[in-house]
Amino acid sequence: WRTNRPDLEGIPLSYAGRLDPMASGKLLVLIGEECKHQADYHGLDKEYEFSVLFGIASDTHDVLGRLQTSTNEIAIEEHQVADVAKSFIGSFTFPYPLFSAKTVKGKPLHMWTLEGRLDEIEIPTRTSEIFELEVTDFETKPRQEVAALALQKVNSIPKVTDPRKALGADFRRTDVRADWQDVAMDFSLPAKYTIAHFRCVASSGAYMRTLATIIARELGTTGLAFHIQRTKIGTYNSDTKTWKLEY
């Protein structure tokens, strides 16, 4: 920013509505005096495109977590996924992901998780509105390809060197990489995995990676968010299905 926009040198910058490490897409950047109004942007609606990988779970609900696998073959049909998606339309109460920045007793929830002290707190929840949720694509991929794509995603973010974040050990990526390499090499696991792609319009506070795991659970299996992209930010009118976009 400072290199490409010298006109912003010395001007305060902030953002509203952070993205998870494994998410991409729209992010509101506030400039100058607008930084003082950051809270005004926190309640905006958002549209996402995200994918659910069925049959593998992680403690972060996405590919950047420690994995739990099963040798069971998972048989899921597209119409089943579509029916489950329809059932989520409306008001929904989500637990915050254990690896999130939600503050509990003055400390981010992910710190409580990493310190192994979750038994000392109550996991907070957030009620959001899901306006639209639809399946946009449905596919299967070989296990080795799934693992290779996941490793690309895991390696796509810069290394964390801030000593204040030492407990996270660079998102535990040494162990996470080893988990995905084990998936690629473990021939006792299913040869192929199903991935369903979704478009979701939701109010503020809806975590797509949490939604991914709940969708999988409703289908009788495990799952994680394989891909998340935020495509719109603004105010959504569910009656007219139109947006007043901020960005």
- The 10s digit of each residue's pLDDT in 164-193 is 666 678 899 999 999 999 999 999 999 999
CA distances 38 to 32, 33, 57, 162, 172, Å, are 11, 10, 34, 25, 31
Q: What's the pLDDT score for residue 14?
A: 87
Q: What's the pLDDT score for residue 23?
A: 95
Indicate the DSSP class of residue 54: E
With contact defined as beta carbons under 8 Å apart, do 232 and 80 qualify?
A: no
Q: What is the pLDDT of residues 109-162, one digit of tens each?
A: 999 999 999 999 999 999 999 999 999 999 999 999 999 999 999 999 988 877
| 2, pLDDT greater than 60 | no
Q: What is the pLDDT of residues 75-96, one digit of tens each?
A: 999 999 999 999 999 999 989 9
Average per-residue pLDDT in the chain?
A: 92
Q: Could you list the active site residues?
A: 20
pTM for the model: 0.92
CA 247 to chain centre: 20
